[in-house]
Homo-oligomer: A and B are copies of this chain.
Amino acid sequence: MADALRRLKTILGEVTDIHRAGAVLDWDQETYMPPGGVHNRAEQLSTLSEVAHRRFTTDEVGKLLDEAAATTAKLPFDSDDASLVRVTRRDYDLARKLPPELVAEIAHASASARPHWQKARHEANFALFAPYLEKNVELNKRVAEALGYEKRPYDALLDRTEPGLTTDQLEAIFDELKAAIVPLVADIQRHADAIDDSVLHRGFDPDAQVRYALDTVTKLGYDLERGRQDISTHPFSTAFGPGDVRITTRVSRDFFNECLFGSIHEAGHGMYFQGIGRNLDRTPLWDGASPGVHESQSRLWENLVARSLPFWHHFFPSLRKAFPEPLKGVDVEAFYRSVNKSYPSFIRVEADEVTYNLHILLRFELENDMLEGKLKVADLPEAWNELFKSYVGLDVPNDREGVLQDIHWSFVGFAEFPGYTLGNIIGAQLMEKIRSELTDLDDQMERGEFGALLSWLQEHVYQHGRKFTPNELLERETGRPLTPKPWIAYVRKKYSALYGLKH
């Protein structure tokens, strides 16, 4: 029996190594690969992913999981071995439910759709992309059918990304959010003049920005012995094991927020990776609990920490030293207000803390409607523009700045968007708990001390890796299930103060 567990771990270790090799190849593609490498790289990534999939989905792994389950049956729920068998069984069953032909068809459809999405976006012409999106919707439906669900097809997809969460629960949370944000956004708009953020556009030397960002994230706790920062078009974080967790950033001379907050966001993901227990290394447990929980850490460090006044009380003096020209005559309070300015905008990835979730709510509604057959692909742009007007209050000028902006629908991956908003919610829920324990957190941050915060997160979140579902983790560490209330309270309080609103 113990032999089965050992053999299982050997196979899972190999599968992990192959996935990590693929992650190195992905990182290289986004940072240093010469243009000519695209074709060979696609072949290599496809082979690695096939080899890993083949190795993981054999009958042998199923048999070993059965046998290992007998060994771990009496172990505590949160023990390494019991968690390994439980979580791997879930992964295995999901992987086995998808017939190889469907997997191949999905890979092919995604690869085919991407250039058409790019062309359609470039020309702001949705019709060019529509047939491919129709195919992708159909494939999302077939995935949902193959995985199975009790009530709604979206349940099947959501359970894969955010295990344990149902579409009904998500809708209830999103409704609560919407009811709070839509009037708040409108209220902020009526007081838009309260914040002038022109300082962010005064021109900041790019090299100095990158250096300052790297210096800042190491002060927060991102470990450079086991990490590094490079430049890429779209910032991301990636991990090849506990000893090698990397982040990227981008930089714009004309907009300060991009580099520093981008780096801190990715370092949030990075510190999560760096904090996962080494006891879970080379197993499926060595990862974040879910995309939502992962995003909770990027957003916690980016927004709840680095967009707070105490944070800037500590960092602003060194920032002014690094950028004396553009920051001439600017004080810490004004700078804090600038980096928190909220304004309705068309592009999700550029949205501020308040309006961001509206972009997600809209996408969730639309992809769920398409999946449930309530919305035809042909009618999508109109539906997008209507919802956008009612949520954000703006008229979408064209499909490039509307329905074609995200890459996500060019591949078969519905149910990925909710994780971004869940991240905001979970981050705030954790922070509420943290502040009840670290009551002087603001004072610590003003002194540039982030060690207690990082330790709390390591102990209560990071070390567990994927042992728990998002809800299991929240119940265990905050005492209650997923709720948007802390985030709503946080954003209301912060923005009422910033804009002088009465909430």
Contact residues of A with B, CB < 8 Å? Answer: 13-14, 17-18, 20-22, 24-25, 28, 32-41, 43-44, 46-48, 50-51, 223-228, 230, 240-244, 246, 281-282
A406 to B236, CA, bound (A): 40
- Partner of A33 from the list B41, B224, B244 (CB cut-off 8 Å) is B244
List of 4 A-B pairs having minimum Cβ-Cβ separation, nearest first:
A40-B241, A37-B244, A36-B226, A36-B243
Q: Which residue of B lies closest to A17 (CB)?
A: B47
A21, B21: Cβ atoms closer than 8 Å? yes
Q: Which residue of B lies closest to A22 (CB)?
A: B21
B13, A240: Cβ atoms closer than 8 Å? no
| Residues on the B chain within 8 Å of A14, using CB | 47, 50-51
Q: Could you say how many copies of this chain the assembly holds?
A: 2
A20, B34: Cβ atoms closer than 8 Å? no
A224 to B242, CA, bound (A): 34
- Partner of A39 from the list B41, B44, B243 (CB cut-off 8 Å) is B243
- Partner of A34 from the list B40, B51, B244, B281 (CB cut-off 8 Å) is B244
A18-B243 contact given A24-B24, A28-B24, CB 8 Å threshold: no
A33 to B227, CA, bound (A): 8
| Residues on the B chain within 8 Å of A38, using CB | 243
| Residues on the B chain within 8 Å of A230, using CB | 32
| Residues on the B chain within 8 Å of A24, using CB | 21, 24-25, 28, 44
| Residues on the B chain within 8 Å of A28, using CB | 24, 28
Q: Which residue of B lies closest to A32 (CB)?
A: B228
Q: Name the residue in A14, A34, A35 with the highest tally of chain B Cβ atoms < 10 Å from its Cβ.
A: A34
A44-B243 contact given A36-B225, A51-B18, CB 8 Å threshold: no
B240, A44: Cβ atoms closer than 8 Å? yes
Q: Which residue of B lies closest to A224 (CB)?
A: B34
- Shortest Cβ distance from residue A281 to the other chain B in the assembled complex, whole angstroms: 8
| Residues on the B chain within 8 Å of A25, using CB | 21, 24
- Partner of A242 from the list B20, B21, B40, B44 (CB cut-off 8 Å) is B40
| Residues on the B chain within 8 Å of A44, using CB | 17, 20-21, 24, 240-241
B18, A48: Cβ atoms closer than 8 Å? yes
A38 to B226, CA, bound (A): 10
Q: Which residue of B lies closest to A48 (CB)?
A: B21
- Shortest Cβ distance from residue A40 to the other chain B in the assembled complex, whole angstroms: 3
A228, B40: Cβ atoms closer than 8 Å? no
A–B pairs, 10, beta carbons within 8 Å: A17-B48, A21-B24, A21-B47, A34-B226, A34-B227, A36-B243, A36-B244, A40-B242, A40-B244, A43-B282
A38 to B281, CA, bound (A): 14
A227 to B37, CA, bound (A): 8
| Residues on the B chain within 8 Å of A17, using CB | 43-44, 46-48
Apart from A14-B50, A34-B224, what 13 extra A-B contacts exist at CB < 8 Å? A24-B25, A24-B44, A32-B32, A32-B230, A34-B244, A35-B225, A36-B225, A36-B226, A36-B242, A37-B241, A40-B240, A40-B281, A44-B241
A37-B282 contact given A21-B21, A21-B44, A44-B20, CB 8 Å threshold: no
- Partner of A41 from the list B35, B48, B50, B244 (CB cut-off 8 Å) is B244
- Shortest Cβ distance from residue A207 to the other chain B in the assembled complex, whole angstroms: 14
A421 to B24, CA, bound (A): 35
- Partner of A40 from the list B20, B41, B50, B225 (CB cut-off 8 Å) is B20
Q: Which residue of B lies closest to A35 (CB)?
A: B225
